[in-house]
Structure 1
Amino acid sequence: MSTARTTTVGIIGAGPAGLLLSHLLHRQGIDSVVLELRDRAYVERRQRAGILEQDTVDVLRASGAGARMDRQGLEHHGIELRFDRRSHRIDFPSLTGGRSVMVYAQTEVVKDLVELRLKDGGTVLFEAEALSVDGADTDRPTIRYRHEGAEETLECAYVVACDGFHGIGRRSLPEDLLTVVERTYPFSWLGILADVPPSCDELIYAHHERGFALHSMRSPQVSRLYLQVDPDDSVDNWSDERIWDELDTRFAVDGDWTLRRGPITEKSITPMRSFVAEPLRHGRLFLAGDAAHIVPPTGAKGLNLAIADVTLLAQALTRHHTQGDEAAIDAYSETALRRIWRAEHFSYTMTTLLHADPAESGFDRELRLSHLRYLAGSEAASASLAENYVGFRTN
């Protein structure tokens, strides 16, 4: 038997975007219900990006969700570029007016937000499968979902789909309204987690003729590293010893630096793609996060774009709730897309700049090296990279 409940904002997806939106709305006196397909344990251990832009850090702090981040997160003031066996540091504060980034895993952001929502009495329904969004172009759209074996209906004033690339949110927009553009890259990332202290104080982005490598971290005790591999490669082809040897080769520089090795606890291969669907609104249904856009992880933008989307949307919904003004709601898609496309371009640039394309010519390789040398030698070029990395503020 179907049962019904009502709320002001129905949110599909309890990732960082959906949870933060619910939290921001709660602080403004706007009620919401969050529906999440997976159980809480799965959501809180789902591994994703771990670099927070300055604006993301500021939003979490201002909303009261940043206390543990400030205790345990690792503030970074730059990144290191490696190529030609040399190292070049990009200093963020000096190039961006004092801005920086924070290393704090998405799993930890989600844990913090789940705890806050439940502590505040928020409604987060785990293992609630959204089945359809109906009446998006009416004043009271509904979400039909299945929870605890029963089919139920959530009646809303607004619906926000934060349910990722494979969710029902984007598919609920009329096909003749939606424009989708995408790019698939001819390589993937082999990512590992290792129980070993990082070999660096800041992230290392390495370009090598054998392929790209990235040295990141999850904590002072856990390293996160990546290798460029073929799209059809398998983790079965990569023993621990082979991974460490290849990382050693790609990170090699002239000078005194050693890559620390340790037990590898996780391996996975991630395809690289860019994707944007627009508009981000149909009637009272809105798209946010991976439901609307995907970036290759090279630029560390995916989580930050999702946070920017829902921050903008929370402001627009609050303005309508408190002032009856729908101007910001009407402008949401256009405003968000300006930032999305800036991030897409930066992510594309970082990806094509740092990876070795197996099909490219010698001319293309020399252009890439020329660009890298320009970044390392020009303050203006370094400032552009830094500005985009810490989060470019569009108008």
Structure 2
Amino acid sequence: MPPPPPSSVDPAARANRRAILITYPDERAINEAVALADAAGYTVAKIVTQRQIAKSRYGIGRGKAEEVRAIAEEIKPDTILFDEVLKPSQAFNLASVTKVEVRDRERLILEIFERRASTTESKTQIKLAQLRYDMTRARESVRLARGSEQPGFYGLGKYEADVYILDIKRRAAALKQKLEKEVKKRQLYRNQRVKSGLLSISLAGYTSAGKTTLFNAMTGETKTTAASVFTTLSTYTRAIDLQGDKVLLLDTVGFISKLPAYMIDAFKSTLEELSFASLVLLVLDISEPVDEIRRKLASSLDVIREFQVPETRIIYVLNKVDLTTVEDAFDKAGQLGILASRRALPVSARTGFNIDQLKNLARSMLFETEKVKDDEGKQDAKQDKEKEDNSGA
């Protein structure tokens, strides 16, 4: 049988490993890639940049690959982290030149998910995502073996690779069944909420925007928070009081750019809470440069739209105003085109600034809207009754 996929390696064994990071020559890209490496337990010993990556035989140019090889010989890293999605052949070619294991961006994110998973559901979701990652690469391994481009690539011959693919499909099917049971449980829970008349608010936003800190500020909880990415992988729900009206607040997994569709699909049972939420608080780190906020806002909205959330159900939470000013927050919101909605509010989840105002805004959107619908319903019923009386006369 083939060796276990690299993603199944014990996360503890990867802690504090030294790595060479290959990324774009852009401060934003470098910072995010370093944050991902740190969250996965790697120490970046050297950063190598190139404007075009993941397009050549080695992901980077041959000359740059030789440069990485020389660096690897000098500093003896455990891993090369590649800040893009690589084909198996590209990872194999780069590893052959450098004599160091290569991990691409998707595999790195999966490692973080694996380290952070704490519930049965999130662990199942991650195992499914890992299998889908391995499946796409196993198929190419078969193609390479059959074409004799790389005989024995990943140690898999034609027969062994086909057996491995069938094994992945079998395990993936079992995990899907397990997740379907979780989906049914969630649906029953939602039905109970609807019957009891409870409305819900979901927190959403780019990873590290401060969603969990905001969750704690609004609920009085002490849920674990961290500056690193993907602190939350499961949905947490708590009841909060909005001036006498009880609602449910839900914290969800954070978003990140270039998150592949199969990862979003694996977390669908968690993220679909957005579809059923009465209101979504989209948390933005307003202390960042406006171009960075714009990029993260676009990534977040892309995911939110996947779940068909109307724009009118979104409050833009301009978080971390304690690291800047209210004036700066409003100025950036204006540049982002979200100020005109009158649903953008500067807050500081860390200090508690404007948290009460945020609750008031949420309450007005939830219950004043409900009251309008109620009044409209009563008015329609009255008009229908009058029509019936008149027709009867």
Given the two structures, how large is their TM-score scaled by the length of structure 2?
0.24
Specify the structure having the higher radius of gyration (Cα).
2
Structure ranking higher in strand proportion: 1
Structure number having the greater helix percentage:
2
